[in-house]
């Protein structure tokens, strides 16, 4: 008779997860109790790929409790944020970004995330999160800790999308201030801008002043950057030629 590799209890028909669901990488099976503990701690990772030591790490990992950010901001639960992230199908490139882990502390209970993009703002790398209430730029740095800047949708007068050769930029005009988020992945930034515009017009108040402009960056400027890229060997001659043709509209 075999035993559970985690708690060493004797495995019987009655305490062994069905269909081999409790099996780990060695083929040994956890008992139902340990299996449930694992599922509660991490329902996403496939158990059958893990060693018993990895399973132990998952189960013993302390559960992070969301911190309160103020009296009128009720932290949403992690699962709710996770669900929202799933719904927007947020990019795999964002996976593991430290800022994502902060979202449960930042997103209030009745806030819905519509999109997230990665970019630069004020010389720091972070994520731009769009919700039904605001756009917020979150940067979690090693040195300065967490930096958050938010722009209430009711304060935003326009969102401009500009696309360059490799990256795009979003310019947010809010309360007379201009915020530029750069180094955005083009198609993601476009989607973000479109959705943000939708949210802005949903807030009705600003319907008349909402403009989403799509202005190409200066062509000469782009050509110069393109030439630099070719010089550095990032672009081949053929790639350079085809991009140049596109830019000049040939």
Residues that bind Zn ion (CB under 5 A): 4, 6-7, 31, 34
Closer to Zn ion at the Cβ: 4 or 235? 4
Rounded-to-integer distance, Cα 139 and Cα 98, Å: 8
Closer to Zn ion at the Cβ: 4 or 115? 4
Q: Shortest approach of Zn ion to residue 97 CB, angstroms?
A: 35
Closer to Zn ion at the Cβ: 36 or 83? 36
Closer to Zn ion at the Cβ: 11 or 107? 11
Contacts of 11 (CB under 8 A, 6+ apart): 1, 2, 3, 4, 29, 31
Among residues 113, 222, 208, 129, the alpha carbon closest in space to that of 170 is found at 129
Residue number closest to Zn ion, CB atom: 4
Q: Shortest approach of Zn ion to residue 18 CB, angstroms?
A: 15
Rounded-to-integer distance, Cα 48 and Cα 55, Å: 10
How many Cβ atoms from other residues are within 10 Å of residue 138's Cβ? 22
Rounded-to-integer distance, Cα 145 and Cα 79, Å: 24
Buried-state track 3-42, b at ≥16 Cβ within 10 A, e below 16: ebbbeeeebeeebbbeeeebbbeeeebbbbebbebbbeeb
Rounded-to-integer distance, Cα 88 and Cα 95, Å: 13
Closer to Zn ion at the Cβ: 56 or 147? 56
Q: Shortest approach of Zn ion to residue 156 CB, angstroms?
A: 54
Closer to Zn ion at the Cβ: 4 or 107? 4
Q: Shortest approach of Zn ion to residue 62 CB, angstroms?
A: 20
Residue the block writes with tokens 């967490």: 146
Q: Shortest approach of Zn ion to residue 33 CB, angstroms?
A: 6
Q: What is the dihedral of CA 108, 112, 118, 120, to 10 degrees?
A: -50
Q: Shortest approach of Zn ion to residue 12 CB, angstroms?
A: 12
Q: Shortest approach of Zn ion to residue 148 CB, angstroms?
A: 42
* Contact status, residue 124 vs residue 181, Cβ threshold 8 Å: no
């Amino acid at each position: 008779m075999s035993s559970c590799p985690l708690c060493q209890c004797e495995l019987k028909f009655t305490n062994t997860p069905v269909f081999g669901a409790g099996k780990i990488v060695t083929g040994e099976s956890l008992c139902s109790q340990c299996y449930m503990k694992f599922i509660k701690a991490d329902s996403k990772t496939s158990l059958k790929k893990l060693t018993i030591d990895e399973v132990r790490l998952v189960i013993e990992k302390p559960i992070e409790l969301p911190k309160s950010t103020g009296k009128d901001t009720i932290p949403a639960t992690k699962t709710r944020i996770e669900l929202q992230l799933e719904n927007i199908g947020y990019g795999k490139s964002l996976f593991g970004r430290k800022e994502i882990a902060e979202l449960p502390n930042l997103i209030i209970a009745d806030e819905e995330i519509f999109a997230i993009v990665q970019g630069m703002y004020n010389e720091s790398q972070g994520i731009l999160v769009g919700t039904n209430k605001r756009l917020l730029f979150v940067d979690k740095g090693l040195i300065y800790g967490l930096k958050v800047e938010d722009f209430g949708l009711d304060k935003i007068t326009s969102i401009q999308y500009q696309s360059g050769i490799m990256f795009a930029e979003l310019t947010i005009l809010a309360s007379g201030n201009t915020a530029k988020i750069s180094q955005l992945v083009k198609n993601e930034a476009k989607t973000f801008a479109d959705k943000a515009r939708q949210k802005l017009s949903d807030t009705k108040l600003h319907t008349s002043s909402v403009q989403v402009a799509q202005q190409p960056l200066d062509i000469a400027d782009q050509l110069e950057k393109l030439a630099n890229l070719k010089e550095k060997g990032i672009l081949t001659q053929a790639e350079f030629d085809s991009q140049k043709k596109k830019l000049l509209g040939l």
